[in-house]
Structure 1
């Protein structure tokens, strides 16, 4: 039998047992090793996600790793037994945006594992084989479960185009922020400053390779000093604050998920400072390749971010920790 965590509607879940699903043509069946819980999953569970980006009833789980257990018709049999992760967006591969390599902007309609398609809060998950990113044989699958947020940050780094010697700031020291510190550190910045109100997170950022850490009050004294600012917090004021941190002609990349009512970016400051502002939602295939490559080379090590692990049966305890405000809570994993 194969178990799955089914969210029937906001606030209501149950563990179901079923026969293991069978992969169809072009698909693979993956035995899940670990699945991360992020704030998007909490929003799904609480019913706060935009209705256009979720479909109930749902098996959540978009951050995951596992081992290919079976392959469907038309799939290379050699994939069986391979450790892997997979892209979440079910891009069509044929629209103009996909053919330009911008698979996260697919015009074929939104579909994503764990939000509109069955996800990895389960013993098994089925995904199209074309979305797989196989890992090295010695890969740590526990750490690899964080390659989905790492791919988002890899997309932000691609958009930000860091150059050696530049002054870089990362706003927010959660999972995305700390992964950003690792990837941006590989570009040999002249300085890498992290902005976060939590002193403990700032100290962790220093251990991850940041050269400085300040709280938002301290950051106000650094406005206009950074060549590149990568925003990861998604807090009500951080988009506007990130733009103020950038120097004239600087670059800002927004990766946080903002709620309606967040402070807007001052258009006068934007135009007079000639800022380049980009946003990131998910990750295209190229960014996934970057993240998996960095992980395989040891440039990216997500394992220290993991603080809690739970079996599927304790999903209620796990989801309660996410977004609960405890500064000691980092990445929470489900281990089927």
Structure 2
């Protein structure tokens, strides 16, 4: 078949759009024609060279927030999935191990491998991936919207770990892509959601996503100790401590952000004396992907409201600049091969 156009980061700061050969899928593999692929802050880290060395391998085709259509399958993969819309897990698990069966990305000793970081990703016209990582979408699904399922899966794991139920009072700290997708999922679970953001710029969008209340970080001090659960999705210095203080005694706090540095370390005295349970999310296990896909199929999850910019892959460098420019108003930026 014809070569695939792809964006490749050769080394930090060096990006090129190239032709790459597309091989037929091997045993257990599927070849996906990529429809859309989101750009994440971690993709900007790959380009800038600020992602920790153990979590990237150059040269690499970035892109882990992708959606597409199965073009062909290899031996051992059901032919009937050809033509189906799909999304796919990025973090690899050791095949046949208990961790793989459980969908636990951390529970089994293995080398870190992930689509778009150490393996070719979705900033390309075609992507080859083991079929066992695919999640089938409903017939006729909006693939533009489906590109938001990957970040939704990450916060779906946070929702599952938060152990909420209908009527739970939950704070979401940070109204970026992850935070707003978390709001949608929590609202879908029947929770009363309060968004805490650094300023008031995201109030309207937060309420569109299902938030019942909104406050700035400054105003959040009056709400300390009032939430059954807190989902942190800001990744900024100090927000982990803010999140813990928002939780009631015995509450749960789930941290998803990775700040560059944090001078305000969590206090073990605060955690123990108030019996606050702190959990963390790195990537999304299979159960979280299944949760996010079901929410998408049910109409609970709608990533389209977060899309602000779209570019072809030839303009990937411009797309990265726009995402990094706070004055652009960019929230979710998509590439469409």
Aligned with 1:176 (options 174, 178, 192): 178
TM-aligned CA deviation for residue 327 of structure 1: 6.5
Q: Does 1:250 align with 2:258?
A: no
Paired residue for 1:2?
4
Paired residue for 1:202?
203
* Post-superposition CA distance 1:267-321 (Å, at most 9, x none): 1110100011100000000110000000001010000100000001101110112
Contact in 1 for aligned 2:199/2:217 (Cα 8 Å):
no
1:68-83 counterparts in 2 under 5 A? 68-83=70-85
Paired residue for 1:23?
25
Contact in 2 for aligned 1:195/1:202 (Cα 8 Å):
no
Paired residue for 2:233?
232
TM-aligned CA deviation for residue 73 of structure 1: 1.6
Q: Distance in 1 between matches of 2:107 and 2:298?
A: 28
Q: Does 1:41 align with 2:49?
A: no
TM-aligned CA deviation for residue 148 of structure 1: 0.4
Q: Distance in 1 between matches of 2:106 and 2:292?
A: 15
* Post-superposition CA distance 1:236-287 (Å, at most 9, x none): 0111100000011111000112223352111111010001110000000011
Q: Output the TM-score relative to the length of structure 1.
A: 0.97
TM-aligned CA deviation for residue 106 of structure 1: 4.0
CA distance 1:136–1:96, shift in 2 (3 Å)? closer
Paired residue for 2:124?
122
Paired residue for 1:143?
145
Paired residue for 1:331?
332
CA distance 1:225–1:327, shift in 2 (3 Å)? farther
TM-aligned CA deviation for residue 104 of structure 1: 4.6
What secondary structure is seen at the aligned counterpart in 1 of 2:140? Answer: coil
Q: Distance in 1 between matches of 2:324 and 2:267?
A: 29
Unaligned runs of 5+ residues in structure 2 are: none
Contact in 2 for aligned 1:93/1:103 (Cα 8 Å):
no
TM-aligned CA deviation for residue 235 of structure 1: 0.5
What secondary structure is seen at the aligned counterpart in 2 of 1:182? Answer: helix
What secondary structure is seen at the aligned counterpart in 2 of 1:199? Answer: coil
Unaligned runs of 5+ residues in structure 1 are: none
Aligned with 2:159 (options 157, 160, 172): 157
Paired residue for 2:224?
223
CA distance 1:320–1:252, shift in 2 (3 Å)? same
What secondary structure is seen at the aligned counterpart in 1 of 2:201? Answer: helix
TM-aligned CA deviation for residue 164 of structure 1: 1.6
Q: Output the TM-score relative to the length of structure 2.
A: 0.97
Q: Distance in 2 between matches of 1:265 and 1:304?
A: 34
TM-aligned CA deviation for residue 74 of structure 1: 1.6
- RMSD, matched Cα: 1.2
What secondary structure is seen at the aligned counterpart in 1 of 2:57? Answer: coil
Aligned with 2:190 (options 181, 188, 196): 188
* Post-superposition CA distance 1:142-196 (Å, at most 9, x none): 010010000001100110011222211000000000001000001222x311000
Q: Distance in 2 between matches of 1:18 and 1:50?
A: 27
